[in-house]
């Protein structure tokens, strides 16, 4: 039986590689996934919804609803992504006043004016809470400080790839004090509470 299955797989691969479109898709997948090219996506093929509910950039929660309760690995994955976003914001990365290269062509050697970059008014995040989960809902509180909404675009770009490749997200909500069936003060792991320390 194993020999028959192996031969069937070989024939399928030969046919796929003979088709230019399929060959390119296989090569792209191997290039992108490296040694783990055979692992399927664990994310969602659907885009998540985004909404804003009285979002105050210096005092609001950012909520996200998953399709199911997150595993410990999922908590680490999304928590690490949000922590990275916060560190970048704390270091002033989300300052749309200094996007010198964003609209330049990369065909030629672009010029970067370090003096201009140095003179731009700094912008940085002020604070963030730990990432908390209750069942399929997660949240974290933010104070974006002097950063601008460019930070929100970057977060949504990150969550879009995270959702499609690894951890399916149903919706992201900016603002609001109580979303879904969130129970304030409930921190018992037996009832689905998990957190990621920022």
What's the sign of the alpha-carbon dihedral 25, 31, 33, 39? positive
- Confidence band, pLDDT 50/70/90 cuts, at residue 2: very low
Strands 169-175 and 137-143 come out as unpaired
How large is the average pLDDT for residues 19-33? 70
* Phi and psi torsions of 3, nearest 5°: -65, -40
Residue 51: per-residue pLDDT: 98
Residue 36 corresponds to which tokens in the numbers above?
């783990």
Helix (H, G, I), strand (E, B) or coil at 126: coil
Residue 14: per-residue pLDDT: 74
* Phi and psi torsions of 131, nearest 5°: -90, 120
pLDDT at 39 over 60: no
pTM: 0.76
- What's the CA gap between 69 and 18, in Å, rounded? 42
- What's the CA gap between 136 and 68, in Å, rounded? 5
Q: What is the largest CA-CA distance in the chain?
A: 70
CB of 168 closer than 8 Å to CB of 43: yes
How large is the average pLDDT for residues 17-39? 67
Residue 40: per-residue pLDDT: 58
On the CB side of 154, CA atoms within 13 Å amount to 18
- Confidence band, pLDDT 50/70/90 cuts, at residue 144: very high
Helix (H, G, I), strand (E, B) or coil at 166: coil
Residue 193: per-residue pLDDT: 95
3-state helix vs strand vs coil in the chain, percent to 5? 40, 20, 40
Tens digits of residue pLDDT in 88-129: 999 999 988 888 888 777 778 888 889 988 888 889 999 999
Task: Name which of 165, 167, 169 is nearest 40 in CA terms.
Answer: 165
Check residues 174 and 42 and name the one with the higher pLDDT: 174
Sketch the domain layout of the chain as residue ranges. Answer: 1-39, 40-196
How large is the average pLDDT for residues 33-61? 81
pLDDT at 160 over 70: yes
pLDDT at 33 over 70: no
Check residues 100 and 48 and name the one with the higher pLDDT: 48
Mean pLDDT of the chain: 87
pLDDT at 170 over 70: yes
């Amino acid at each position: 039986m194993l020999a028959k299955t192996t031969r069937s797989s070989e024939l399928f691969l030969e046919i796929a590689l003979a088709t230019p479109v399929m060959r390119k898709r296989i090569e792209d997948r191997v290039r992108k996934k490296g040694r783990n090219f055979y692992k399927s996506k664990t994310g969602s093929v659907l885009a998540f919804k985004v909404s804003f509910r009285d979002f105050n950039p210096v005092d609001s929660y950012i909520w996200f609803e998953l399709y199911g309760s997150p595993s410990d690995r999922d908590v680490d994955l999304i928590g690490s992504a949000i922590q990275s976003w916060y560190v970048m914001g704390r270091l002033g990365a989300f300052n749309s006043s200094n996007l010198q290269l964003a609209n330049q062509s990369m065909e030629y050697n672009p010029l970067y004016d370090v003096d201009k970059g140095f003179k731009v008014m700094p912008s940085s995040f002020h604070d963030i809470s730990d990432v908390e989960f209750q069942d399929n809902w997660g949240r974290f509180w933010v104070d974006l400080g002097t950063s601008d909404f460019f930070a929100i675009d970057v977060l949504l770009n990150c969550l879009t790839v995270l959702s499609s490749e690894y951890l399916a997200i149903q919706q992201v909500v900016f603002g609001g004090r109580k979303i879904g069936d969130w129970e304030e003060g409930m921190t018992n792991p037996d009832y689905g509470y998990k957190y990621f320390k920022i």
